[in-house]
Structure 1
């Protein structure tokens, strides 16, 4: 490895951060909050970011290659690096940031798995139920919102499936 190997950045780090940034921008679309009634809170925004990142990671892992897996890991790393930074900016103390990030990490994995299983099974109702459970934790989802969000997630999954790995490696992705 040598001394310079200590300072080398992971191969797909830049692309991972770029893809994550696009996922965050997609999750901030006002229609999610205005039309579907997703709570416009830190928790509600996290849920939509988690959904978009989970769909992106599903696409990358679905490639079935080391490159796809490495890029998926880079997106995941970018997300939780950002979560760490955001918690610190919100004033969470250094002693508890790690615990909070771990809690978010575990929650993300559970959500990503539930969403991926429902999508793989073609279970739109199951996906809507998982979204309702996670997105509208403190309140009931407005009538039809979970189903509409599930339909949107399935559309996004289809859009992502049609995008070439070469474009994703360049940090270019479209969620619309």
Structure 2
């Protein structure tokens, strides 16, 4: 980043990283992996991080400014982190851009499927999308339905969090096992 690179930074960059960090922490809840059988792999973790980031972005996009700007800052933080992680895993510089782009496209596809199901109030469609993406088509049955219920409970919980709190980078998720209890 050159001498003046700091001028190009979003004024919401730090908040975006804080919101993203909360989504990552929520996605690491052991219940997803032990209770629901989400694959504890790079792909499985990516999908859960993506789901939680989507839920926060969905909430922020429904709010007045700076909600949409914060949603973009969270998205930017997520994919900057993906870039860094790929480099730390030893992916070559020439391949990183292509891999991040593929992850970006995957996230957008998943977000569109989740958004359509949630907007329609169709928990079955949400469970099917989660099964297709999180379990990569491996039958998950009741686990996918439970993950859909958790996502919907988190969405309701996030809807109660106000813009002022979110703008400070504070977002709270329910513990996964208790989200549907």
TM range (shorter): over 0.9
In structure 1, the residue matched to 2:178 is: none
Answer with 5-14 or 132-141: which moved more: 5-14
Query: Structure 1 CA distance, aligned partners of 2:152 and 2:137?
Result: 25
* 8 A contact 2:20–2:53 mirrored in 1: yes
Matches within 5 A, 1:76-91: 76-91=75-90
C-alpha distance after superposition, 1:3-31 (max 9, x if no partner): x9752231110100000000000000000
Q: 1:66 Cα deviation (Å)?
A: 3.3
In structure 2, the residue matched to 1:24 is: 24
State the TM-score, normalized to the length of structure 1: 0.94
| 1:73 and 2:63 correspond | no
Runs of 5+ in structure 2 lacking a partner? Answer: 175-181
| 1:156 and 2:154 correspond | yes
Matches within 5 A, 1:30-109: 30-63=30-63, 65-109=64-108
| 1:166 and 2:164 correspond | yes
C-alpha distance after superposition, 1:130-150 (max 9, x if no partner): 000001116322x40000000
Number of matched residues? 171
C-alpha distance after superposition, 1:63-84 (max 9, x if no partner): 1x23111000000000000000
Q: 1:117 Cα deviation (Å)?
A: 1.1
Query: Structure 1 CA distance, aligned partners of 2:95 and 2:164?
Result: 39
Runs of 5+ in structure 1 lacking a partner? Answer: none
Query: Structure 1 CA distance, aligned partners of 2:138 and 2:124?
Result: 19
C-alpha distance after superposition, 1:77-131 (max 9, x if no partner): 0000000001111111000000000000011001111101111110000000000
- Match of 1:152, SS state, is helix
- Match of 1:7, SS state, is helix
| 1:126 and 2:103 correspond | no
Query: Structure 2 CA distance, aligned partners of 1:18 and 1:74?
Result: 10
RMSD: 1.2
